[in-house]
Amino acid sequence: MDNGGAAELRETHCLKGHADRAWSLAWNPSPGAGAGPVLASCGGDKTVRIWKRAPDGTWHCSDVLEDTHNRTVRSCAWSPDGKLLATSSFDATTAIWEYSGGDFECVATLEGHENEVKSASWSQSGSLLATCSRDKAVWIWEMHPGNEYECVAVLQGHTQDVKMVQWHPVLDVLVSVSYDNSIRVWADDGDDEWHCVQTLTEAGNCGHSSTVWSISFNQNGDRMVTCSDDCTLKIWDTSIDLSQPKTGEGHESWRHLSTLTGYHDRTIFSAHWSSEDVIASGAGDDAICLFVEEKSSMVEGPSYRLILKKEKAHDMDVNCVRWCPQDPRMLASASDDGTVKLWELGGSVLD
Amino acid sequence: MVMELSNANPVVYEKKERRIRQAPENTDENAAEPIDQLEIFDHIRDIKDPEHPYSLEDLNVVTEESVEINDELSHVKVTFTPTVEHCSMATVIGLCLRVKLMRSLPPRYKVDIRVAPGSHATEAAVNKQLSDKERVAAALENPNLLDIVEECLSPTFG
């Protein structure tokens, strides 16, 4: 309903079921032909809930994944083909769930981290899974037939708790963000040896001055957004292919483009980039903000402007925001208030 | 288990006289009653120190003045003063303050817990840890730590 008017974010559904805070969300990227969108949510009640849209437009919880993790489920991630769901828990494990015979079945449990696992991410091919933990390490797992997972790399470099890992949408390049305020980029050297190929910090690269909580790439991966406890979002130019070995003098690298500041006054926990290039952020001030690139100001380099701030989007902190891949105008949010909300973005998002 | 006390001989301060909070003049029973500084202090003053049989008030770790509140913005800030600069219990005390206020205040409140500037050797690290709700949540799932917190909070109920 793009009527050229101002952008608006309308709450369409409030999904209740979690008995504790809702930490994280993941839309199934490939729910199957004819199927509607499928959303997974997880939280402090140690469960994962699967939400589906019925033909009449209502939403319901179709499955509750429980009794596998015995502590908080911090995050969840679907494989690119939509058939597997990885869930990361404070119990130091990551569980792999498969949808078969009408049920979700836990087909593998990845152990190795010393303490809380904070996040997991599948590579674009679906053959690699990365996990990260409060133990400061990032692990890369290779998937083999028969639900076998082999750890192929333990990446050390962060000096503190690693909050999130995210694969590049096109390349086998991995990004991790941490309580040590830095963003690290990892790639393999062609011989299956994984290395940190760049570290983005406050001192060296206009990076963050406190915990970096979340990261999201745009669709083709030439830009990414990060958000932090320093109450800013930062946009990065990621168009240089860091998976290729460096050649010659003065190599190029990823660089800071823009800092969005003054929009949230408490920790920004989540940021997500839609396929229509709208960036959503969710924060400890209970608000959701939406940003787009200011196309008319290219003279001074790219800049981003706020198109909408939804105050009191939830009764408590907003922990996660995720755009639906099948419907770029549908946003899901998860909160400390235990609810998951679905929003519809209406109006114009352009200049 | 024998543990070395991080402050073997703490100074015990005289308790302030307890003031009775005045009932609001407002006769409308449905009107929201604002929460004030003294009410917040009443929630936390009797928390027991993790290593001594004294309350946080006895040890001057918290005073009424250490509580700031903006009821309109639903914001509470508590600035506590560890008994010694190298107090290894600072994060546990901060955790007790956070848990107590989490349980006592309506969920709309945003609570910030800080050590007083200059009062602790690793002030920034302690403050960062106490404001990271993910690490606080993980800590509270640790049964040993939760036992310590519950023990410290037990004198504040009833």
* pLDDT tens digits along A151-177: 999 999 999 999 999 999 999 999 999
| Tens digit of each residue's pLDDT (9 = 90 or more) over B84-115 | 888 889 999 999 999 999 999 999 999 999 99
pLDDT at res. A189 = 87
**Residue A321: strand pairing partners:** A333
CATH class of the domain at B37-153: alpha beta
Q: Is A118 on the interface with B (CB under 8 A)?
A: yes
Rounded-to-integer distance, Cα B44 and Cα B65, Å:
13
Average of pLDDT values for B24-39?
72
Average of pLDDT values for B65-76?
94
Q: Is B135 on the interface with A (CB under 8 A)?
A: yes
Percent of chain A past pLDDT 70, that is, above it, reads: 95
Residues from chain B contacting residue A179 (CB–CB below 8 Å): 128, 132
Rounded-to-integer distance, Cα A204 and Cα B148, Å:
42
When scoring B75, B110, B128, B134 by the number of chain A Cβ atoms within 10 A, the one with the most, hence best to mutate, is: B134
Give A176 to chain B, closest Cα distance, Å: 17
Cβ contact, residue pair B128, A317, below 8 Å: no
Cβ contact, residue pair A179, B138, below 8 Å: no
Rounded-to-integer distance, Cα A54 and Cα A50, Å:
13
Q: Compute the mean pLDDT over every residue in chain A, rounded to the nearest whole number.
A: 94
CATH class of the domain at A8-345: mainly beta
What is the residue-wise DSSP string for A111-177? ---SS-EEEEEE-TTSSEEEEEETTS-EEEEEEETTTEEEEEEEE---SS-EEEEEE-SSSS-EEEE
pLDDT confidence band for B30 (50 / 70 / 90): low
Q: Taking 70 as the threshold, does the pLDDT of residue B25 lie above it?
A: no
pLDDT confidence band for A265 (50 / 70 / 90): very high
Q: Is A71 on the interface with B (CB under 8 A)?
A: yes
Q: Which tops the pLDDT comparison, A242 or A209?
A: A209
Q: Compute the mean pLDDT over every residue in chain B, rounded to the nearest whole number.
A: 88
pLDDT at res. A1 = 43
Question: In Å, what is the CA distance from A330 to each residue of A62, A84, A151, A321?
Answer: 20, 23, 36, 11
Q: Taking 50 as the threshold, does the pLDDT of residue A312 lie above it?
A: yes
Percent of chain B past pLDDT 70, that is, above it, reads: 87
pLDDT at res. B3 = 53
Rounded-to-integer distance, Cα B56 and Cα B69, Å:
19
pLDDT confidence band for B24 (50 / 70 / 90): low
Q: Taking 80 as the threshold, does the pLDDT of residue B26 lie above it?
A: no
Do A49 and A64 contact (CB within 8 A), yes or no? yes
pLDDT at res. A277 = 96
Give A23 to chain B, closest Cα distance, Å: 9
Q: Taking 60 as the threshold, does the pLDDT of residue A118 lie above it?
A: yes
**Considering just the CA atoms, what is the radius of gyration of chain A in Å?**
19
Chain B 94-113, residues with CB within 8 Å of chain A CB atoms: 107-108, 110
Give A121 to chain B, closest Cα distance, Å: 19
Q: Taking 60 as the threshold, does the pLDDT of residue A4 lie above it?
A: no
Domain ranges within chain B, ordered by starting residue: 37-153
pLDDT confidence band for A191 (50 / 70 / 90): confident
Interface ipTM: 0.94
pLDDT at res. B1 = 43
pLDDT at res. A101 = 80
Average of pLDDT values for A166-189?
97
Is the pTM of the predicted complex or chain greater than 0.90? yes
Q: Which tops the pLDDT comparison, A244 or A20?
A: A20
**Considering just the CA atoms, what is the radius of gyration of chain B in Å?**
16
Residues from chain B contacting residue A118 (CB–CB below 8 Å): 134
pLDDT confidence band for A3 (50 / 70 / 90): very low
Tokens matching residue A271 = 């940021």
Closest residue by Cα to residue A64 from A80, A77, A78, A46:
A46
Give A90 to chain B, closest Cα distance, Å: 7
Q: Is A136 on the interface with B (CB under 8 A)?
A: no
Give the chain A residue whose CA is nearest to the CA of B129.
Answer: A179
Average of pLDDT values for B19-34?
63
pLDDT at res. A183 = 98
CB neighbours of residue A263 within 10 Å: 18
| Tens digit of each residue's pLDDT (9 = 90 or more) over B114-149 | 999 999 999 999 999 999 999 999 999 999 999 999
Average of pLDDT values for A304-324?
97
pLDDT at res. B157 = 74
pLDDT at res. A2 = 45
Do B79 and B52 contact (CB within 8 A), yes or no? no
Q: Out of A191-195, A205-209, A230-234, A257-261, which region has the weakest mean confidence (pLDDT)?
A: A191-195
Question: In Å, what is the CA distance from A262 to each residue of A231, A309, B21, B81, B145?
Answer: 8, 12, 38, 31, 37
pLDDT at res. B69 = 96
